[in-house]
Structure 1
């Protein structure tokens, strides 16, 4: 099964584009879930989530809808004294797990998370602390993209996040691999001019993919889906609803190929 969604859903600049102009922010998720089958929760990176939050979020979505929850920043960026944070983070996921609406944890590591023995050990520790909770890993430095890394992920049942982003020397190239039962693809856009130099964070993701650019990925996604039980395709080029436009486009492309897409 292939699920198509976007990197977040609660954006003010989607009003009048995807949502009604005067929509109440509390109504966004239920409206979003009418069209897409999953979403990434980004707020969980900035502040520790809790059960109450996810209980009410899942109640706004239909059966089968999936939430991918970004790991809290201390777990991926600071990586020190994380024992209690791991416990609190896992406890918060309970309502999603109990209702069958939990997709996986997205562990997005920074570009400063380089390939070395200490960080390899931390990935193993991350897996141990998460116990049997599904986890996918996104690297931000190309050093990690090698066979040893893929073997490490497979051995620890960690999914690899395939990415589409500018082809700068240190960034991760568009490499497709399945290292767990969960496949994952994130489209960040190809905004070369604003990737490193921008005033606002959202400028990095100001990019609209063409149909031809998305078609390049269609056979790769199909290949990934063949090797996994569930594959998430996330559009993170969220500026002014461009993720919605491209989400609809990639879904239609995959459907035309006869693939099982939600």
Structure 2
């Protein structure tokens, strides 16, 4: 199955004309969502139960690992990776028990380059989450250097990591290429950030508003659909997440790709139009 969705659910008002969507409303259109809130803080049990109460039976989540696990944050004096892992796993346990977790996402920063130290860190990360599928996203081109890419792919396969297939700006030396290589067919994850070269390296307090400001053209989405179909031949499950949220383009781009792939989702929440058909 190919599940298409977006990062977050609030900001996709282009779907129904509202300024802010609820998860229930979002689930009228898509069968999966990526939640980034878990990157900033470990979700409370009440939040997890609320999410589960707003989704249909076949809906799934991509949950970002807390920034502590992706070198964005550091451990507090009274913390260990094992203790934080235990807390995180216990909080999201209902999602796992109800089989609503598509995968955990570890999005590393550009400073996480291909070094022996960082490869060893990836080994440790797997030991903290041995039973969950973890999708790994790199932000530095060193991981895709022609001299080591085959070994990197093999490493990902050995540790059963799902290497994220990433679409991001193409003209910068440090960004990663669009690599349709599958390292874990159980749960392939594709993330589209847009191709705004200038915005990707924009700095300042409003940097996030520019980084993913991009509207994919129909031509680009048609080309991308070809790659998705190619992956489908090897994958058991696939998820395509649009993260080009800054200008409100993600949801409509996602619906266009869904149409290009000829996908008709069943089991979503009913919307007002459906109620009168």
Q: CA deviation at 1:68?
A: 0.4
What SS does structure 2 have at the residue aligned with 1:148?
A: helix
- Note the 1:161-200 alignment, pairs <5 A: 161-167=164-170, 168-180=172-184, 181-199=186-204, 200=206
Question: Separation in 2 of the partners of 1:20 and 1:217?
Answer: 27
The alignment's TM-score, normalised by the length of structure 1, stands at: 0.91
Match of 1:75 among 58, 62, 69: 69
2:221 is the alignment partner of 1:214: yes
Contact 2:140–2:176 (8 Å) recurs in 1: yes
What SS does structure 2 have at the residue aligned with 1:186?
A: strand
- Note the 1:29-68 alignment, pairs <5 A: 29-68=23-62
Contact 1:183–1:225 (8 Å) recurs in 2: no
Moved over 4 A (4+): 259-262
Q: CA deviation at 1:21?
A: 3.5
- Note the 1:61-140 alignment, pairs <5 A: 61-77=55-71, 78=73, 81-140=80-139
What SS does structure 2 have at the residue aligned with 1:178?
A: coil
Question: Separation in 1 of the partners of 2:134 and 2:247?
Answer: 29
Count of residue pairs brought into register by the alignment:
253
Output the aligned Cα RMSD.
1.8
What SS does structure 1 have at the residue aligned with 2:230?
A: helix
Q: CA deviation at 1:218?
A: 1.3
Question: Separation in 2 of the partners of 1:211 and 1:51?
Answer: 41
Higher helix share: 1
What SS does structure 2 have at the residue aligned with 1:241?
A: coil
Q: CA deviation at 1:229?
A: 1.1
Aligned to 2:275: none
Aligned to 1:227: 234
For the pair shown, the structure with the greater C-alpha radius of gyration is: 2
Q: CA deviation at 1:51?
A: 2.9
Contact 2:201–2:211 (8 Å) recurs in 1: yes
**What are the ranges of 5 or more consecutive residues in structure 2 without an aligned counterpart?**
267-277
Change (3 A) 1:260 1:22: closer
